[in-house]
Amino acid sequence: MIFLFLISLSFGQNLEDLDSYTVDEFYKKVELDRGTLDEDGDEIEYIYVKTELEKGDYKIDLTDGDGDLYEVKDTNIFIKFNGYFGYAGYSTECILKVDYYSSIVYKLE
Among the listed residues 84, 85, 61, 57, the one whose alpha carbon sits nearest the alpha carbon of residue 71: 61
Q: Are 71 and 62 in contact (CB under 8 A)?
A: yes
Q: What is the pLDDT along the chain (109 residues), one digit of tens a residue?
A: 344 344 444 455 577 778 899 999 999 999 999 999 999 999 999 999 999 999 999 999 999 999 999 999 999 999 999 988 988 989 999 999 999 889 999 998 7
Q: Are 6 and 57 in contact (CB under 8 A)?
A: no
| Domain definitions of the chain by residue range | 7-107
